[in-house]
Amino acid sequence: MSGTLSDRMGAALLMAPLLLFLVLAYAWPFLGVVKWSFTLPTPGLGQYHALLTDELVQSVFIRTLRIAAIVTVVSVTAAYAITVVWVRGSPVQRVLAEFCILVPFWISVLTRAFGWVALLSNRGLINTWLQSIGFISEPLTLVRNEFGVIVGMSHFLIPFAVFPLASAMRSLDERVLLAARGLGSSRMRTFWTVFVPMTRSGIIGSAMITFVFSLGFFVTPAILGGGRSVMIAELIYLRIFQSPDWGLGAAISVVLVVFVGALMALLFRYVKPKQLV
Partner 1 sequence: MQQPGRAAEIKANGIGKSFGSFRALDNLSLDIGRGEFLTLLGPSGSGKTTFLMILAGFVQPSEGKLFSDGVDITNRPAEQRAAGMVFQGYALFPHMSVEQNIAFPLKVRKKSASEIKQRVGEMVERVGLKGHEKKLPAQLSGGQQQRVALARALVFEPGVLLLDEPFSALDKSLRGQMQAEMKRLHQETGTTFVFVTHDQSEALALSSRVAIFNHGKLLQVGRPDEVYDRPANRFVAEFLGEINMLPVKGVRPADNGATGLCEDRAVNMRCKAEAIKGDAILAIRPEDMSIAPEASVNQNGIAATAVASTYLGAATKLDLTTRQGAKVTVSVPNEVAAAALSKGNSVWLTWPAEKGFLLPDGGQ
List residues binding partner 1 (CB under 8 A): 173, 175-176, 178-187, 189, 193-194, 197-198, 200
Crossing angle between the packed helical segments 125-132 and 109-120, to the nearest 10 degrees: 20
Cα 246 to chain centroid distance, Å, stands at: 26
Q: Among candidates 76, 269, 267, 73, which has minimal Cα distance to 166?
A: 76
Q: How far is the CB of 271 from partner 1 (least distance, A)?
A: 15
Q: Smaller CB distance to partner 1: residue 49 or 181?
A: 181
Q: Smaller CB distance to partner 1: residue 62 or 179?
A: 179
Asked whether 232 and 165 are in contact (CB, 8 A), the reply is no
> What one-character DSSP code corresponds to residue 121?
S
Q: Smaller CB distance to partner 1: residue 49 or 200?
A: 200
Q: How far is the CB of 81 from partner 1 (least distance, A)?
A: 21
AA letter at 224:
L
> What one-character DSSP code corresponds to residue 103?
G
Q: Smaller CB distance to partner 1: residue 35 or 187?
A: 187
Q: How far is the CB of 274 from partner 1 (least distance, A)?
A: 18
Q: How far is the CB of 62 from partner 1 (least distance, A)?
A: 34
Crossing angle between the packed helical segments 28-39 and 46-53, to the nearest 10 degrees: 80
